[in-house]
Structure 1
Amino acid sequence: MSQSNLEVFKSIIERGFSCGDLSVADEVCAERLLEHQYLTNSDLPGPEILRSQIENARKSINDLKLTLNASVETEDTVWARCTATGLDPRSGKSVTIDVMDICRFAGGKLVEHWGVPDRFALLHQIGALPPPPK
């Protein structure tokens, strides 16, 4: 029996982003992946895009752990809200940010992705943005 799209998504965040297992990209990505996340190189084959995203995320946050907080699954799409935790490699500070993902699947493979990590929260937590006004 094949995995549900939500189970495929969970393998991306658990095996890929949290554990650094790049082989998940070859298993779950279609050869052509439409990528809509800001600053992601989308001129690569689908598995390469996902591998690059995993590598970049794990370089940006040491000891990265993604936790699925909420999700909605329809016939071909998974909407998810996750929390990313870890350490900023430059400052050594602990960071926690929200990540929103929308993933569309076809034939059990990821074919389209929109991702929105809360980069403002990350910049604020590492001291790169001024504190909020009082």
Structure 2
Amino acid sequence: MSHLDILKDWYHRIWIEQDLAAIDAYFAPHVGADGLMPDGQVGPEDFRALVPALTALVRDLEFIFDRSFETEDWLWAQISVKALGAHDMREVRTTGQVAMRFEGGKIVEAYNSFDFLTFFASAGLLPEEAFLLLLSGERLG
């Protein structure tokens, strides 16, 4: 199985099927993912809370793998995310990138960068022009 196949399986099994018990099958012990939360790595226990929290906001979640590049032990992928807002069925979209190193078919390093500002704005949880408001110096909240 290629590294991209493992990543696709991760998103399908964990994020779409909500098989949270399978999280440990993807990560080597004591490994977390950087870049998802401002205060550090997200480990398996954190994913068990993060996945339901984010997926409660959307329906019909879909991950599109726009571009990817693999080496012997690294994978980089650019991902588009599409869904419908759980409350009003509006279109929710965002993009992100992941870089991961694999050993023995498991993730041993993971670096993420997702556009959560766009995600929360398109889900109706921030003003639609949140980026422009923040850029102008406005405070939200």
Q: TM-score range by the shorter chain?
A: 0.7 to 0.9
Equivalent residue, structure 2, for 1:11: 9
Kindly state the Cα deviation for residue 48 of structure 1 after the two structures are TM-superposed: 2.4
Alignment partner of 1:118 out of 89, 112, 115:
115
Alignment partner of 2:30 out of 19, 32, 35:
32
Task: Give the alignment of 1:69-108 within 5 angstroms.
Answer: 69-108=66-105
CA RMSD between the two structures? 2.8
C-alpha contact (below 8 Å) 1:18/1:66 kept by paired residues: no
Give the fraction of aligned pairs with identical amino acids, expressed as a percent.
Answer: 24
C-alpha contact (below 8 Å) 1:29/1:109 kept by paired residues: yes
Q: Which has the larger radius of gyration?
A: 2
Listed as ranges, the gaps of 5+ residues in structure 1 are: none
Equivalent residue, structure 1, for 2:127: 128
Count of aligned pairs: 130
Kindly state the Cα deviation for residue 87 of structure 1 after the two structures are TM-superposed: 2.2
Instruction: Kindly indicate whether structure 1 or structure 2 has the higher relative contact order, using CA contacts under 8 Å at least 6 residues apart.
Output: 1
C-alpha contact (below 8 Å) 1:40/1:53 kept by paired residues: no
C-alpha contact (below 8 Å) 1:17/1:65 kept by paired residues: no
CA–CA distance in structure 2, aligned partners of residues 4 and 59 of structure 1: 30
Q: Cα gap change, 1:130/1:4 in structure 2, threshold over 3 Å: closer, same or farther?
A: closer
TM-score (structure 2 length as normaliser): 0.73
Kindly state the Cα deviation for residue 80 of structure 1 after the two structures are TM-superposed: 0.7
The letter of the residue matching 1:10 is K
Listed as ranges, the gaps of 5+ residues in structure 2 are: 134-141
Kindly state the Cα deviation for residue 103 of structure 1 after the two structures are TM-superposed: 1.5
Kindly state the Cα deviation for residue 94 of structure 1 after the two structures are TM-superposed: 1.4
For each residue in 1:42-74, what CA deviation from the matched residue of structure 2 results, as whole angstroms up to 9, or x when unmatched? 677x43244334323312333322122211111
Q: Cα gap change, 1:110/1:52 in structure 2, threshold over 3 Å: closer, same or farther?
A: farther
Equivalent residue, structure 2, for 1:22: 20
Alignment partner of 2:48 out of 48, 51, 62:
51
Pairing 1:62–2:59 present: yes
C-alpha contact (below 8 Å) 1:17/1:57 kept by paired residues: no
Deviates more, 1:109-118 or 1:17-26: 17-26
